[in-house]
Chain A
Amino acid sequence: MKESQDIESATVQLSPVLETTGLPGLPDSKERRYDRQLRLWAASGQSALESAHILVLGASPTSTSILKNLVLPGIGAFTILDDGVVEGKDLGANFFLETDSLGKNKAEEAIKHLGELNDSVAAHAETRALESILDDDPTYLHKFSLIIAENIPQRILERVTALLWDSSTGAGDGDADADASQTVAPPLIVVRTSGFLADFGIQLKEHSIITTHSDSAASLRIDKPFPSLLAHAFSLNFDKMDVTDHGHIPFVVILVRVLQEWKNDHAGKAPSTYAEKQEFKQRIVKMKKKDDEENFDEAVAQAYKAWTNTIVPSEIEALFNDPSTKNLTANSDPFYHLVHALQIYTSQPPHTLPLSATLPDMKSDTKSYIHLQRLYKEQAAEDKARFTDILRGIEAGAAGAGGGGSVALGMVDDFVKNAHALRLIRGKKWTGLTDDVEALTLAREMAPAAVATHLSLSALYAFEGKNGRLPKPGDGADREEMTAWVKARLTATGWAPEPEPEDSAMTGADEEEEEPMPKEITLWEHVTNAVGEVSRAPAAELPTTAALMGGMVAQEVIKVITKQYIPIDGVCAVDLASSTTGTVKV
């Protein structure tokens, strides 16, 4: 295409400034185009996106909004499945259809306008009916990396969810013996919208994330200093240092030193009471040679690190006991081999996770800081080597048992670096009708508004399933039927309508304790609002709702495909009348 040639020729720019420096040259055209996103998920995330093929069931306004947000960052390929024909109402709400599209196949028209957003993305239309594919060619769905279903009738949706869930054997099923025939069906995202309301959930068996981009930092091991750090802290003679050097001792070194000295005076124990902690901080303050030594101020501010125990976090401990780690086989996902290796690693002294090589910036001079950074890097490399040895041992054992491969080094690097922030999500089958009583009981207590939105959308689907038609907009009888459906679901969880407030404030002046609080909206009021909103415009694909869901679902797709950041665990319910969202595990 001409356009892409233009970018290519525009980008093969040499940089005279860099020519003789031996430095790598300017970023290429792709790096420049994707610069703002590569800063979020790096080349590894980008290459995962470029290998993905997404299937979207239905060319609705929400579907094309989702795809727009995936085509732009450069997903590999997408397919829209739709056997319908473009009508005026589709056109009016869908930015990716044109007046010319009227009367033509929806999928074919939509891919035309989505494809032009990015030449490097392959766009396909599938014009067969979904039901005929489910009847005649069910393995078709397994070709894709991820499938999105928006506003698919319950009857057909149930066939899709069953096909993808039941054919997928997650390692967590405990059927480890069957792993020769193990298939992993693509994750399915189910999206439902109705006027101002919407929800979505991801059906996937399990999803392990190494690069979570967690905000929590790895331990600096001040309480359990590695030998070279401890030796370094005691090799410095604080008293004899000149004022400049003294004012540049990194706070890590100060804390390691003060803590060790403290422990020597306190039978090996770190400060634990408030008084002790204050005394500990005073020790640091007293070490100052000048009032304005910021490194000592930093040490005081970070002193809590001295009495924070570096242990294996409980969430990571939980991974050790996960069935997939327990029932490890040669064909298990590499993640579980890594977790198992980590379990063995942490069972050995000093019973910590491998050290992170990342040292935050701190008040110091170049020499002291770079030296400290080198100590961390060297120890981290040593820890990683010990970890890798354990891992290779496990792999060798597995190979002896007739399988196994070797986890790529890059993945080992990432795993060790993020060992404190690993995440595992186990999903459940999407039922959409919220029949898990136990989960619903918990959710209605935790997030009543989100539950009301979710249930009212479920009621809409149930209505359509039962009556073979959508409720009539604003129709009282249809609304009552949906309300009754929601009430039955809630009643099954032991819920009873809140008694009407008996105007106690008016009659009884003696109830002083609870009254002054602003009145909270009850679950039932949320339900009345949500069902009322659904009844107002049951099938309305409001462009702003479609656009918002397009963004939210695309974020989730990106997180699932790149295996970076953390996708939702449950159902996210969106109410654009009240401008709120909530996530519930139902």
Chain B
Amino acid sequence: MSVAVEAPPAANGASSSSPQYPDQYYYVDQILDRPGPRTDEAFSAGDPVKSFLREQCKILVIGAGGLGCEILANLALMGFKDIHVIDMDTIDISNLNRQFLFRPKDVGQPKATVAAEFIMKRVPGVKVTPYYGKIQDKDDDYYMQFNIVICGLDSVEARRWINATLVNLVDPENPESLKPLIDGGTEGFKGQSRVIFPTISSCYECSLDMLNKPTAFPICTIANTPRLPEHCIEWASVLEWPKVHADKKMDTDDPEHISWLYKVASKRAKEFKIEGVTWQLTQGVVKNIIPAIASTNAIIAASCCNEAFKIATTAAPFLNNYWMLIGTDGVYSYTFEHEKKSDCPVCGGETMDVEVGKGWTIERLIEWLTENQKIQIKKPSLSLGTKPIYFQAPPQLEESTRPNLEKKVHELIPEGGEVTVTASTLPFTLTLRLAFV
């Protein structure tokens, strides 16, 4: 597949593909000047591939954090010259142990802007266009301009959004609309990278059930039978904070808020003779902190950029389609093809068969949809054909459909009926075919 390379020849001159100083691309050119044993026949060695990479290829990097900083530096050195970067965050002191484009003086500044400036200063001839904001701010036209998208995100929701957006962008009539998506993620000494060809190979949504279930403690444990320090911290944040502070929102980035939770959790722990509540643990639990180090980010970002380079140039076959790495015991990695799911809510197009208990209410069905590992929709709205069953928004529709929540599913939907599920936070539609058991 060489979708990204099938672009028209250079329109105007070849000036920007020439190096800024002699031998700038000395090493990369050795790879681009001739094919290797596994190189696809479509590879056009020498000037054609160089001019595509350096004059035409436009690449988007989502996230300018731990992975993003590394990705930007790698892309610039590999010869990508038109790079865009989106990040909605500002720089925090705890970023400095790995986000190497930032210095203490940059704390508080937008990541995307600082990172872009650094790259352009260090690597002459590269243009990095930053956007300080959310990926959801941008529309289809914006995403349509890129050849490749690389994600270095720490949020599952953001990944689902961009994945679904790129799948929806695919127009079978227009090969340019297929945007390869490369996704990286790390946790401590472990990480993974993957290549997604929207609608063709397994997408992010297809593999949702591979994610670890987030640790959620039952509310009764938190309220009545705490055993671990984490239970005391959850008690402080979930039950005590709203009770004491009413509608004042907890800001997990505010050290004083963490201190308050720490104090309250410590008191409860002492009462129950539970050991181990610390400030750091409190912060870790309420912010759901994932350990992160520069070296793992470097590995995963390099893998992502290596795949981007291979897709853009066809210099070697790209990853099909998942690479995972575990560095805690030696170096273990596993390369495999994750299978596309025919009933994937985003890219499958097929109807998902669901067995529903006879006694289930609509509310129970909605609860099942939010809890199911394969689906994990936060706020699903349901309809049968054009008839709304339950809508989360707008408020008037929510109000008029609310009484349905308590009704039995089979009262509203016939056996074999096809229910359309949509989510306000994600651009996708899922069709369920119900069977009553």
Chain A residues engaging chain B, CB cutoff 8 angstroms: 3-4, 6-7, 10-11, 13, 15-18, 21, 23-24, 26-27, 29, 31-40, 65, 68-69, 72-74, 87-89, 91-93, 95, 98-99, 102, 116-118, 195-196, 212-214, 248, 361-362, 364-366, 369-370, 473-474, 528-529, 532-533, 536-537, 539-545, 547-548, 550-552, 554-556, 558, 565-570, 572, 576-581, 583
Contacts and interface: CB of A to CB of B under 8 A. Distances in A.
A365 B224 contact: yes
Of all A-B residue pairs in the complex, the 3 with the closest CB atoms, nearest first, are A551-B298, A88-B23, A551-B299
Contact of B279 (A16, A24, A40, A541): A24
A4 B104 contact: yes
B226 A366 contact: yes
Contacts of A21: 263, 266
B328 A548 contact: no
Given A21-B266, A541-B27, A579-B335, A73 B298 contact: no
A39 B283 CA distance: 12
A565 B98 contact: no
Contact of A116 (B38, B103, B309): B103
Contact of B38 (A36, A529, A544): A529
B45 to A, nearest CB: 10
Given A32-B94, A92-B27, A537-B27, A548 B263 contact: no
Given A4-B104, A568-B331, A533 B36 contact: yes
Interface stretch (B161-169, B254-262, B427-435): B254-262
A13 B255 contact: yes
B26 A88 contact: yes
A361 B227 contact: yes
A6 B91 CA distance: 15
B280 A27 contact: yes
A26 B305 contact: no
Interface string B36-65: 111000000000000000000000000000
Interface string B310-336: 100000111100010101111111010
Contacts of B291: 36-37, 39-40
Contacts, number: 285
A29 B98 CA distance: 15
Interface of B: 19-28, 30-31, 33-38, 70, 73-74, 77-78, 93-94, 96-98, 100, 103-105, 107, 122-124, 188-189, 224-228, 255-256, 259-260, 262-263, 266, 272-274, 278-280, 283-284, 289-303, 305-307, 309-310, 316-319, 323, 325, 327-333, 335
Contacts of B97: 33-37, 72-74
30 contacts: A3-B103, A3-B105, A7-B104, A17-B256, A23-B262, A36-B94, A36-B289, A39-B280, A69-B294, A72-B98, A73-B293, A87-B23, A88-B19, A88-B21, A88-B24, A93-B28, A212-B329, A369-B225, A473-B30, A529-B36, A537-B27, A541-B27, A542-B27, A544-B302, A551-B294, A551-B298, A566-B330, A572-B330, A577-B36, A578-B38
B22 to A, nearest CB: 5
B23 A89 contact: yes
Nearest to A544: B306
A545 B306 contact: yes
B227 A69 contact: no
B1 to A, nearest CB: 15
Contacts of B280: 27, 31, 35, 38-39
A18 B96 contact: no
Contacts of B263: 17-18, 21, 23
Nearest to A371: B273
